[in-house]
Structure 1
Amino acid sequence: MSTGWGWIMLVASGVVDVAWALATKKADGFRDLSWTLMSLLLLALFVWLLTKALQVLPVGTAYAVWTGIGAVGSVGAGILLFGEPADAIRLLFVVVTVLGIIGLRVAS
């Protein structure tokens, strides 16, 4: 696999990670069976995609970028779907995280 495909797999894994976080929230402490099963399926998928990406990408950079995608996506989803706070300081640190992701990608 090329590094270009590795980056695609990494971004896809980050997006699936956000979906996993949302499904886990909806699973309500694993009391809702359908959301629990969805959560487990998404967990397996994002781990598989991340594992594929790590075959060609440096682990430190890839893991930091993956974590950043998950964090930024989860914050955004929490704001949009669950009415979590969107105050200025929180959004500032989301921007800082995005800049860090871009910086790590450019430096690779």
Structure 2
Amino acid sequence: MAWIYLVIAGVLEVVWAFSMKQSEGFTRLTPTIITFVFMAASFALLSISMRTLPLGTAYTIWTGIGAVGAFAVGVFVLGEGASLMRILAAALIICGIVLMKLSS
């Protein structure tokens, strides 16, 4: 179950990062509320997963899912650029996530 909680926490991190962008510096109420609710849920699930998973593994995978997910949302939803270097960087993060999972 810890791995499921961790993956959900990572996905929620993407949601709160996107809603933070939409809040325009916390000047828009609804995206601001979504940011804080999903942030709290993400942290809570990360904390639960850390009951059994090592700190380094859990935190690395959580931030990796958030980073790659936020990159993907930026490219596919917000129309941000996807240069070869940015795609390579995301691919390397995914490789790191896979290696961290395999080492656990």
Unmatched segments (≥5 aa) in structure 2: none
Letter in 1 for 2:60: A
| Other structure's SS at 1:30 match | coil
Q: CA deviation at 1:82?
A: 1.1
Q: Distance in 2 between matches of 1:98 and 1:68?
A: 7
Normalised to the residue count of structure 2, the TM-score between the two structures is 0.98
Q: After superposition, what is the alpha-carbon deviation per residue over 1:30-79, rounded to whole angstroms, capped at 9, x for unaligned?
A: 11011111111001100110010000100011101111000000000000
Letter in 2 for 1:100: G
Letter in 2 for 1:82: L
Normalised to the residue count of structure 1, the TM-score between the two structures is 0.94
In structure 1, the partner of 2:97 is: 101
Unmatched segments (≥5 aa) in structure 1: none
Q: Distance in 2 between matches of 1:34 and 1:92?
A: 34
The counterpart of 1:30, out of the listed 26, 38, 60, is: 26
In structure 2, the partner of 1:7 is: 3
